[in-house]
Amino acid sequence: MRSRNRIRKPHVSTTTAPIAAATQRSILLLSFATFSSMVAQRICDAMLPELSRSFDASLAQAAQVVSMFAIVYGVAQLVYGPLGDRLGKFRIVAWATLGCGVGSALAVFAGSLNLLVLARMATGLAAAAIIPLSMAWIGDNVRFDQLQETLARVGLGTTLGIGGGQLIGGLMTNTLGWRWAFVVLALLFGVVGTLLLKDWRGQKSAQGPLAEPLAESAPAASFFAQTLPILTGRWSRIVLLVAFAEGAAGFGALAMWATHLHRAMHLTLSGAGAIVALFGLGGMAYMASARRLIAGLGQHGLTAAGGSMMGLCALVVAFTPWWPLAVPASLIAGFGFFMFHNTMQANAAHMAPRARGTGVSLFAAALFLGQSVGAMVAAGLIDRLGSAMVVALGGGAIAALGLWFGRALRQHHARETAEG
């Protein structure tokens, strides 16, 4: 039986119509929202030692502000997809962004570590909606031939948010105090959420193509009815399985790079972390050149080349006896990985057009679960195999995955063309 949710690519004319100005404005606001969401995820990383001192707790106890945020964020993915398909994706993103502002404000006034953890859980519950539903809304409102490039531009906000969260958290903690980091975060979410809500109301007034026709014209199916076709569809099932493997081999194993550089190269943790942070800079470089690369390589070429680039760079990081080589290797690895990841995002946004919010949220959940499993497995293998072998295995896995998925994409597109 054929999958009911296969991608249907519209006819692409030789002249691509530009994205409407109103849609571009909405996409820009969604970029601000994804930036804010990633800042919220990473803002506590640098303040953990100070939180440990402030609340007279161990570092492991203080780290709950990170781990509990992540757990809630991952579980909530299963809720927001169907909710966005029923109530409207942009509206959910707007209110979730304001909800993150409330959670961040509660963190400012937390009088104990337990209350701070609860405030972070509330923020994670709201933040979980922002990135996947933003991707799904863009999939609803941007032509297929422009989708991957548009997602790459939105991804720039996400990538900047990774470094921005660590910078804001560390800077505020070292100067005004850790509570001021949450003040900045609450203000950021408040401003962005207000602008999103205003834009959504403008969309409803216009009653144009921004009114989310798929989300509101489709019948209000149950969660099971929305999810089952995605889990049983041949192509969507492949995308979800590859997302899990990508999270484990890419993001999960990447968590061990700094540990390897610290152990094998005897770098300080701050120095090792700075080198690995270049991974995100490489991702930004890809996003700046995404238009030309997408047109030149196509999706299958991006995944094959991107996975191979990261795999080769992982081998350099793992086995080089000279640490300066890890600097360009981390940069190029980030470039290659985001070639792969951006292609995955585009396929996730189109694997279930009639339940796009559910589809993208399932993709995010698979990616997040894979990341968690990969990090735990990698950490458990370091003492047995050594950090160099763990880094090399992660790179080899992502290279093999990129080559396999590139071939699968070529076959899938050929089958779509044949079926008309």
Q: 271 with 396, same domain?
A: yes
**Residue 13 located in a structural domain:** no
From CA 149, how far away is CA 60, in angstroms rounded?
40
- Structurally, how many domains does the chain consist of? 2
270 plus 195 within the same structural domain: no
Q: Return the half-sphere exposure (C-beta side, CA atoms, 13 A cut-off) of residue 138.
A: 33
Q: What is the pTM of this model?
A: 0.68
Residue 3 lies in a domain: no
Assign residue 160 the CATH number of its domain: 1.20.1250.20
Of 102-111, 265-274, 304-313, 356-365, least confident by mean pLDDT is: 265-274
Q: Where would I find the H helices in 43-63? A: 48-54, 59-62
Distance, CA of 39 to CA of 286 (rounded, Å)? 21
Using CA atoms, how far apart are residues 374 and 254, in angstroms rounded to an integer? 9
| pLDDT > 60? residue 136 | yes
Q: At 119, is the pLDDT very low, low, confident or very high (cuts 50, 70, 90)?
A: very high
What would the pLDDT profile of 275-322 be if each residue is shown by its tens digit?
777 787 888 888 778 778 888 888 889 999 999 999 999 999 999 888
Q: Are residues 199 and 245 in the same domain?
A: no
Same domain (yes/no): 263, 206: no
Closest to 132 measured CA to CA, from 357, 367, 371, 369 = 357
- pLDDT at res. 365: 79
Kindly state whether residues 204 and 233 are assigned to the same domain: no
Dump pLDDT digits (tens) for 4-36: 444 444 444 444 567 777 778 888 899 899 999
Q: Are 223 and 361 in contact (CB under 8 A)?
A: no
| Burial (CB count within 10 angstroms: exposed 0-12, middle 13-18, buried 19+), residue 102 | middle
- Spatial distance between the Cα atoms of 6 and 144, rounded to a whole number of angstroms: 13
pLDDT at 221: 53
- pLDDT of 61-108, one tens digit each? 777 787 788 778 878 877 887 787 778 888 999 999 999 999 999 999
Domain interval for residue 31: 19-210
Name the average pLDDT for the chain: 80
What φ, ψ does residue 44 adopt, rounded to 5°? Answer: -90, -10
Indicate the DSSP class of residue 14.
S
Percent share of the chain, pLDDT over 70: 83
Q: Which residue has the higher pLDDT, 130 or 376?
A: 130
Same domain membership, residue 198 and residue 66: yes
Mean pLDDT (whole number) for 156-168: 73
10 within a domain of the structure (yes/no)? no
DSSP state of 209: G
As a whole number of angstroms, the distance between CA 229 and CA 82 comes to 13
| Cα gap 358→100, rounded to integer Å | 21
